[in-house]
A and B are shown apart, each in its own frame.
Chain A
Amino acid sequence: MSGAVPIVILVAVTLFVGVRLRRRSRPMQTLRRTRSAMFAPRLGVIGLIAGREVHARIRGRIFRVGTVLILAGVAAGIIIPTLSRSKHTTEQVAVVGALSAPLKAATLASAISVGATVQLVSEANAAAADADLRSGRVDFAILDARKLEVNKAIDQNDSSTTARLVQAISTTLGTAEAFESAGLTAAQASKIEHARPLPVTSLQPGSATAVKRPTSVVGVVLLFLMLTQYTTWTLIGVMEEKSSRVAEVLLAAVRPVQLLTGKVLGIGVMVFAQATLIVAFTLGLSKAVGSNLLRGTATPQIISTLVWLVLGYAFYCWVYAAAGSMTSRQDQVQSLALPLSLPIIFGYIMALTTASSGTPSTLFDVLAYLPPTAPFAMPVLVGFGQVTWWEFTGSAAISVLCTIGVAMLAASIYGRAILRIGRRVRLRELMSGAAR
């Protein structure tokens, strides 16, 4: 399992070096031709604009570094717990006096229950055991199956393997002693030890909430990070096209709605590509290293997270693009960014809280049908297994319909505001029908 980690790292490094070498060895003309081919429009002018956007983002350092950082974070989240889990602890336990076969077996079973292996070390007497304890050769001692001895007192909050093992063995041996004091035979004691709890039945099937909860939280966090990143790209990208006046050159050849659509489509392609890469990387790495991070995660939950990332971006990108067209400077962008991000932050906090608690409220159920918050709420409900396919589809349909309305409004605002340089354009001015 842990042997897969170097292989994964080796493959990643080889791929990276290979791509770099290939790029360096390719003639400039070929490179240029390839880049030009990326602009080849399958979708006409809009495809051309989207292609430029994709190309610019891929070449931009922010995207490459951001993607690498996200992948590194995901890799750390998967690999580190695996490494710590695979670290097998062997506890050295000094034994003074005889330890009967049942007690020995019970001791070893206690070790397994705390994820450790026990090696019993016979000591001639208590003094020898004390000496080994002090020197650290043994972790603790069992004295005549009546008492446990440690070098330093164990704190009540100590969660180390040794502390948990001492606690478990002391309970086991104490129980055995109690059985003996009660005069139970070995068979009776064994019967009590192997007592099985009564079965508990329920009227309705339970959900796999607890198992899926960590995945829901991870999904919500990734959704928030990516939506924030991409909508900010849209906002700043539109503002830069306006402030650098390149919009005026482009709009001499294309319609505002084509320029706007091409831009959000290009960034949208990047959204889906990056999200797919992250999901594929997460699944692949989890499988390779045997991580249980995604264990129990149903495919629908992953797909729904991806679907809502795209739907969320599709809804918000128009809003942010329209806002970007109303600004000409960075400080104007900052003054708009906070109010724009409030619905996202609200949806994120609600989703995170609910995913952690595992009990969605009625309000949360409603939020799953409102386009601004549905990208966060619906994947969480899907994770809880509380959504039927038609509820999911209904929420998606509401989101798509609202997105069409928002896009039409955004295109109108964009067309009127994109060439107004100087102070920030007020929505009131645009709504009052002011001309370009």
Chain B
Amino acid sequence: MGSALELDGLTRRYGEIVALDQLSFSVPAGQVVGFLGPNGAGKTTTMRAVFGLTDLESGTVRWRGAAVDQPVRRRFGYMPEERGLYPNMLVGEHLEYLGRLHGMSVTDAAAATSEWLERLGVGDRAGSKVESLSHGNQQRVQLAAALVHSPELLVLDEPLAGLDPTGIDAIGEVLRDLARSGCCVLFSSHQLDLVEDICESVTIIDHGRLVVNGNVDDLLTSGPRRLVVRVEGDRDGAWARRLPGVTVSEVDRGAVRLVLDESVDSDYVLTSAMAAGRITEFLFARRRLSEVFREALA
């Protein structure tokens, strides 16, 4: 599927700090794309740039080949990192109001409000004030606010932060459904395992520059081989740290995750592990997104 959203050479400085440095990448339609990067990498600035909320020194944001302007932006949905709703407004009224601001009729906005509140599990809170909702429910309402006008592009800044597992599942399902229906979804998160589950592609930036951009499956199956080995009585993988060409990527309750150089034979690792003690687990593993992330930023 072709690119729907294109960011081309975005540059933004805050005094001496370079937030975006000739950043270019694209987001295809019909996909959920994870937007990753360490704190201060420029994710929020990039998202704001899509909505014209920050002034760029240079660069262009295009939607379906044309420069983005205000009428086009009204067809986008945005959930900022810092949640923003009128605390004293009723939930239903608030969503209808936002739907109308995006050009919906009174009837359509009311119908879409009911539909999204039901779908996100807060249908019974339409008559409640926003401030009376729990943090998790406010999060759901905030997502509904970004979705109420059926956007063509959905940009979400940390939508999963603070949600319980049920909420994460519900939002993950919604995002996948939207992508299946042709919506373009870009969302940032530091919960990389969840991103791995939800997204088809990821884009990783650091210091305002693109570091990695690709399909999740391709990224997870590429790179050096990985082994997970558990040796009875060994808690920190001390035996593995002495092996040449082997890097301990992670130790999780005695299970040591190893990254093997091309020259290292897995039989050599097996032999070394057996020498260290009785082996209770030995398996080849896929790369994790967290490893892709760390290796990309290393």
Q: Are B127 and A28 in contact (CB under 8 A)?
A: yes
Q: Does A245 contact B (CB under 8 A)?
A: yes
Q: Does A253 contact B (CB under 8 A)?
A: yes
Q: Are A32 and B93 in contact (CB under 8 A)?
A: yes
Q: Are B100 and A419 in contact (CB under 8 A)?
A: no
Q: Which chain B positions have C-beta within 8 A of A245? A: 80, 82-84
Q: Which chain B positions have C-beta within 8 A of A39? A: 96-97, 100, 106
> A254 vs B73: C-alpha distance in the bound complex, in angstroms?
9
CB closest residue in chain B, given A37: B106
Q: Are B106 and A253 in contact (CB under 8 A)?
A: no
Q: Are B54 and A436 in contact (CB under 8 A)?
A: yes
In-complex Cβ contact of B84 among A48, A60, A249 (8 A): A249
> A251 vs B145: C-alpha distance in the bound complex, in angstroms?
13
Interface string of B73-98 (1 = CB under 8 A from A): 11010111011111111001100111
Q: Which chain A positions have C-beta within 8 A of B166? A: none
Interface string of B86-124 (1 = CB under 8 A from A): 111100110011101110001001100000000000000
Please count how many residues in chain A sit with their CB below 8 Å of the partner chain's CB atoms: 31
Q: Which chain A positions have C-beta within 8 A of B145? A: 249
> A248 vs B146: C-alpha distance in the bound complex, in angstroms?
12
Q: Which chain B positions have C-beta within 8 A of A33? A: 110
If A253-B73, A255-B70 touch, does A36 touch B106 (CB 8 Å cutoff)?
Answer: yes
Q: Does B283 contact A (CB under 8 A)?
A: no
Q: Is the interface of A mostly helix, strand, loop or mixed?
A: helix
Q: Which chain B positions have C-beta within 8 A of A249? A: 78-80, 84-85, 98, 145
> A419 vs B53: C-alpha distance in the bound complex, in angstroms?
8
Q: Which chain A positions have C-beta within 8 A of B106? A: 36-37, 39-40
> A245 vs B80: C-alpha distance in the bound complex, in angstroms?
8
Q: Are B53 and A248 in contact (CB under 8 A)?
A: yes
CB<8 Å pairs between A and B, sample of 27: A35-B93, A36-B93, A36-B110, A39-B100, A39-B106, A48-B97, A56-B86, A56-B88, A60-B88, A245-B80, A245-B83, A246-B84, A246-B85, A248-B48, A248-B80, A248-B82, A249-B85, A249-B98, A251-B51, A252-B51, A252-B78, A253-B74, A253-B98, A254-B70, A419-B48, A421-B82, A436-B54
Chain A residues within 8 Å of B, Cβ to Cβ: 28, 32-33, 35-37, 39-41, 45, 48-49, 52, 56, 60, 244-255, 419, 421, 435-436
